[in-house]
Amino acid sequence: MGVQGTRIAVEPTGIRPWIREAVLAGGGQIVSVAEAEALVWADAFDVANLKRCLAEGPGIRWVQLPWAGVEPFARAGVLHPAYVWTCGKGVYAKPVAEHALALLLAGLRDLKIRALAQSWQEGSGVSLFGRRVVIFGAGGISEALILLLQPFQCTIEVVRRRAKPVLGATRVVALSERHQVLTGADAVILALALTPETEGIIAQPELEVMGSQSWLVNVARGQHVVTADLVKALQQGQIRGASLDVTDPEPLPEDHPLWSLPNCLITPHTANTEAMAIPLLSERIRENVRRFALGEPLLGQVDPLLGY
């Protein structure tokens, strides 16, 4: 089949017109759901309409989801193995890793306190050089982050589902063995998928073993952390502090205690903005449309059984 014969539906209509442009740039022909052999989905949360489109499109074999996180679709049971599923996995690795490093440096250097200060203060903060950093996750974000950390000569330990080697890491442990590396870590960075297994993986027991020198960074999902336990740990000095790009709940209510803590820095889920995402996801969609037409392996494939 020629590239021009690839029939792609883009839904829901009326949002993110740049997705349609990416499909056309890949050689796709935009058609109705009923005529489509593939579906590029433009909404990160509209599960009901996705189910409807799949029911109305008997010829659909491949579905491209927009962002890296697919947990709304996994929870709803939409990720049926009858389809090939792809997402933005790995596309946003560099900007998110960059943000994680920025949050870590800002935390270790007490930049929230400095930004709010209106008078000269005593010096504080620690250097990242030579510190022991624990990263949860072994995907694209973690790979990019390990490269960014190399100039700081950190000892990097990785926690992942299975203890398979990770390039640049001095040690890798399975999720069930996380306390082995959390104990005494200088920094803990969450950059992993949200699944039932990883929900609440940072709670009171983990915060206690991390120690008062440890800084927590979360650029993954808010539900990875038990918020009430984190608030207590920050208030009591169990850990040095936390930098959060994601929270539970999200958005974080204006009166939530995390906002007022001097050792908690919050950014509003901006590790990857839509402006950053447009060129990156456009290229992923363009390339996957091209590959689908030629029968080549697609990028960013999702395992329907694992949910990421």
> Catalytic positions, please?
221, 250, 269
Question: Which residue has 């990720």 as its token pair?
Answer: 79
Q: Rounded to an integer, what distance in angstroms lies between the CA atom of residue 265 and that of residue 258?
A: 8
Q: Give strand pairing partners of 85.
A: 63
At 282, list the tokens: 């456009």
Q: Helix 17-25 to helix 274-294 angle, to the nearest 10 degrees? A: 30
CA-CA-CA-CA torsion sign (234, 235, 240, 241): positive
Amino acid at 232: K
Nearest CA to 109 out of 119, 98, 118, 101 is that of: 101
Nearest CA to 199 out of 43, 307, 39 is that of: 307
Q: Rounded to an integer, what distance in angstroms lies between the CA atom of residue 264 and that of residue 231?
A: 9
DSSP state of 225: B
Alpha helices (H) in the chain, listed in sequence order: 17-25, 47-56, 71-75, 93-108, 111-116, 140-149, 178-182, 204-210, 227-236, 257-260, 274-294
Q: Rounded to an integer, what distance in angstroms lies between the CA atom of residue 24 and that of residue 27?
A: 5
Sorted by sequence, the CB contacts under 8 Å of residue 151 that are 6+ apart come out as none
Instruction: Please return the burial class of 254, using the count of CB atoms within 10 Å of its CB with bins 0-12, 13-18 and 19+.
Output: exposed
